[in-house]
Amino acid sequence: MNYIAAPDRYSRMEYARCGRSGLKLPRVSLGLWHNFGHEAPYCNARDMLLTAFDLGVTCFDLANNYGAPFNGSAEETLGRVLKEELRPYRDELIITTKAGYGMWDGPYGDFGSRKYLMASLDQSLKRLGLDYVDIFYHHRPDPETPLEETMQALADIVHQGKALYVGVSNYPAELTAKAAELLKGMGVPLTIHQPRYNMLDRWIEDGLCDVLLEKGIGAAVFSPLAQGRLTDRYLHGIPADSRAASSSPFLRKEMLTEQLLDKVSRLNDIARGRGETMAQLALAWVLENPAVTSVIIGASRPEQIRENVETVQKHVPLSEQEKSLIRSIITEEKI
């Protein structure tokens, strides 16, 4: 228990209200999808978490299935860091987890039944060593389970005190609106949505943002750097220690097309002209969307977290001219 948090941590970050709730989230949150399971060095995972907290990143995003070599190992890593370092700071932290993707064998370990959500959250709490999480999400829509059942499970989880707030992830606009109405009828607000959003994937602009703003639901958006593609990481080849070079099935080398790299190189020039890095421009662009509460970044080393958090400190809003130039680059035909 040697860790003492940086005394100036709250001067380094901005916090935004999550929709119309009482909850404020850091503009930059840290996700534990990659590089936090037992396959990754524990010291690096711990250093990333403590670096983030020292920079005012109070929100750590998890799901039941994060981590390798087995699902849940990222929750175990955070559980250990909480136990050994961050326990005194529990009330300064927003810990989130989710269930919705395949977690265990048989009919009760996937999608959105009450049976799955209740059992999964209990397992997550054990791995984390916590009595409650701050936000519990349903991870993806379930085409078979009635939405009423899934939302009732979320509402009951709040009533049981196992989560303070609930959210949905990857839900399209119309289903989000229905989920919010159902939950409202159960006396529990739909506080937050977690969709993918970045310069290369703007689907939320087509309806979902309107629903979120109208209903007062916040948004913590994932993969704001398109898993590293919207950084300078791949501008001069594929580094051996990068996600694209790893065995992760989510970012394959073929996704780094010449056309994409040409776009990123031009965006990088805009960023440099502003005294920012490519990653900082990509994050700032996402954060300028009024529906976005927080960007959930991933990282493989503490320096990336420092660079990304710096966005909040140094970003000057984009001018109309810069916005239109960026728009013209990112809307060129499909990558």
**300 contacts ligand NDP (rule: CB under 6 A):** yes
The neighbour count for residue 214, using CB atoms within 10 Å, is 10
Q: Measured from the CB of residue 211, what is the shortest distance to ligand NDP in angstroms?
A: 17
Q: Which string of x and - marks every residue 168-197 that binds ligand NDP (by CB under 6 A)?
A: -xx-----------------------x---
Write down the H helix ranges in 42-196.
42-54, 73-81, 114-128, 147-159, 173-185
Q: Is 271 in the site for ligand NDP (CB under 6 A)?
A: no
- Which part of the chain contacts ligand NDP (CB under 6 A), choosing from 107-115, 150-158, 179-187, 225-233? 225-233
Angle between helices 42-54 and 302-314 in degrees, nearest 10: 20
Q: What residues from 33 to 52 belong to the interface with ligand NDP (CB under 6 A)?
A: 33-34
Q: Cis omega (within 30 of 0) on the bond before 69?
A: yes
Site track for ligand NDP across 138-167, x = CB under 6 A = -x----------------------------
Rg (CA), the chain: 19
Stretch that binds ligand NDP, among 159-167, 220-228, 255-263, 313-321 (CB under 6 A): 220-228
Q: How far is the CB of 223 from ligand NDP (least distance, A)?
A: 4
Cα–Cα distances (Å) from 157 to 136, 151, 230, in that order, read 8, 10, 37
Q: 48: Cβ–Cβ under 8 A, 6 or more apart, which residues? A: 30, 35, 36, 299, 301, 302, 305
Rounded to the nearest angstrom, the gap between the alpha carbon of residue 242 and the centroid of all alpha carbons in its chain is 19
222 forms part of the interface with ligand NDP (CB under 6 A): yes
CB of 212 or CB of 296, closer to ligand NDP: 296
Tell me the closest approach of the beta carbon of residue 241 to ligand NDP, in angstroms. Answer: 7
Among all chains, which residue has been given the structure tokens 């400190």?
A: 313
Residues near ligand NDP (CB under 6 A) are: 31-34, 61, 139, 169-170, 194, 222-228, 231, 233, 242-243, 279, 296-300, 304, 307-308
